[in-house]
Amino acid sequence: MPKTLFDKLWEQHVVEPETEEAPAVLYIDLHLIHEVTSPQAFTVLKERGLNVRRPDLTIGTLDHSTPTLPPDQNGKLPYISAQAEKQVHTLIENCAAHDVELFGLDDPRRGIVHVIGPELGLTQPGKTIVCGDSHTSTHGAFGALAFGIGTTEVGHVLATQCVLQRKPKTMRIQFDGVLPKGSSAKDMALAFIAHIGADGGQGYAIEFAGEAVRTLSMEGRMTLCNMSIEAGARSGMVAPDETTFSWLRGRDYAPNDNDWEAAVADWRSLCTDDGAVFDSEVQIDVSDLRPMITFGVSPDAAISVDSPMPMGEDEAARLANEYMQFEGGQPFTTARVDRVFIGSCTNSRLSDLREAANIMRGRRVRDGVTALVVPGSEAVRKAAEAENLHEIFLAAGAQWRLPGCSMCIGMNGDQGQPGELVISTSNRNFKGRQGKGVRTVLASPATAAASAVAGHIADPRQFMDQEV
């Protein structure tokens, strides 16, 4: 029988099949941990006298609670709270106690967990990958089965290298056409979430396919898979191809030269067979896709940036409009911006920073707007600085920060102020996500940079066509 990519990966990793009474037992190839969801899990191990089952398949990094500002003159990092600092040091201690490799504060490999996994070659086709973070779906861009787990499950994987899972249904989202100038993978992500709804992927593993997906870079594919969770999906994935293999070759943890050809030969089999049946199919034509933004308090409240503000026909939309302080029928360009955040596991890679820098080059951030540019890893930061991208941001009046999750969730103190409108390249626009009373508009790096320069929500295409 023809099989989907998801079915192949699932079958290869099932230790015990599911029954009506119990979920399947699924083997995990790579377990990524960070400082927020791991402390309780390690505590359970200690209480039960257990060790980490496969420390060699467990990797730690520091990202959520780490400051993005440099140490003070005494060498002390400006943690937002004693709790944040304790989280960081607790992970350091737990990894040392269990012989788990950790990319610590001074490690050049440190960064956001979903940025460093791919860039180091830890993320590979065919793997099952979990992390105590919902956006683990990012790694599916490489043809991996990757999904977020809860704190209890983190403990289970640490102790057994397995996790209990019910098998989801399958959905294929096919993007046809050629992506127009000015639009990006982030716009594709917001478009498909608006199309199927915030719960449209509930209970599904999504495979992204089609001409527009195949022409995306690996960074673009990661952005697309990262946002699959915002449609309620269990995971998102793209079948590996030459783009994937080229991106992985030579990376630190990728197969070496002696094993490379054998690995690629195996990876080529990881595709959906002709004739395989999905439980649901969606087709989206991107030929006329314009830059997208969100206008409400859910990622599926998305619309093209050059559309008028929705009128709020139902109660939920009306309440969202009230919170966002948008007036139905008015152009979005009338909405003044207070803060811009370019970063997060969705859009903090080198190509994202280049996209933003191309808009900011030779221009200035509008007075009254605070713009933060936060690279996703130390490697991204160094590569950006080697291209002098940081000089472009600084010359424009933006802040160039150290790597971390930063304003995506604001656990490290990078937050907006009550009532501020923030244009963010992150993945969630829930109430309070970026600070109490903060209003969040999700957008691509180009749209965020254009809004920083304009001082209001702006269409990036106007700056792409202008001479500086």
- Tell how strand 421-424 and strand 339-342 pair up: parallel
* Structure confidence at residue 411 (pLDDT): 95
For residue 90, the number of C-alpha atoms closer than 13 Å in the C-beta half-sphere is: 18
Assessment of whether the complete model's pTM goes beyond 0.95: yes
Q: What is the pLDDT of residue 314?
A: 80
Q: Which of 119-123, 316-320, 450-454, 458-462 has the lowest mean pLDDT?
A: 316-320
86-100, 304-318, 346-360 — which is least confidently predicted?
Answer: 304-318
Residue 420 pLDDT exceeds 70: yes
Among candidate residues 326, 404, 382, 309, the one with its CA nearest the CA of residue 69:
404
DSSP structure class, residue 188: H
Average pLDDT over residues 395-401: 98
Q: Give residues with Cβ within 8 angstroms of 236, minimum separation 6.
A: 137, 140, 141, 205, 206, 207, 208, 224, 225, 226, 227, 228, 229
Give the dihedral sign, CA 256/34/380/146: positive
Between the alpha carbon of residue 453 and those of residues 37, 290, 323, 346, 418, the distances in Å are: 37, 19, 25, 22, 22
Mean pLDDT score, 264-269: 97
For residue 317, the model assigns a pLDDT of: 80
Mean pLDDT of the chain: 96
Can you list the domains of the chain with their CATH numbers?
1-289 (3.30.499.10), 292-464 (3.30.499.10)
Q: Look up residue 450 and give its two tokens.
A: 């254009």
User: What is the predicted pLDDT for the residue at 52?
Assistant: 98
Beta bridge mates, 267: none
The tokens for 81 are: 């709270």
Say whether pLDDT at 67 is over 90: yes
Residue 145, C-beta contacts closer than 8 angstroms, at least 6 positions apart: 6, 9, 10, 13, 127, 128, 129, 205, 235, 237
pLDDT at 77 over 90: yes
If pLDDT is split at 50, 70 and 90, which confidence band does 57 have?
Answer: very high
Residue 15 has pLDDT above 80, yes or no: yes
Task: Give tens-digit pLDDT for 195-254.
Answer: 999 999 999 999 999 999 999 999 999 999 999 999 999 999 999 999 999 999 999 999
Q: What is the pLDDT of residues 113-171, one digit of tens each?
A: 999 999 999 999 999 999 999 999 999 999 999 999 999 999 999 999 999 999 999 99
Whether the pLDDT of residue 312 is over 80: the answer is no
Place of tokens 């409108």: 421
Do 403 and 376 meet the contact criterion of CB atoms below 8 Å apart?
Answer: yes
Cα gap 224→135, rounded to integer Å: 11
pLDDT at position 315, please? 82
Q: Residue 468's pLDDT band (boundaries 50, 70, 90)?
A: low
**Residue 249: DSSP 8-state:** T
Helix (H, G, I), strand (E, B) or coil at 141: helix
pLDDT given at position 409: 94
As a whole number of angstroms, the distance between CA 116 and CA 118 comes to 6
467: pLDDT confidence band, cut at 50, 70 and 90? low
The pLDDT score that the predictor gives to residue 161 is 98
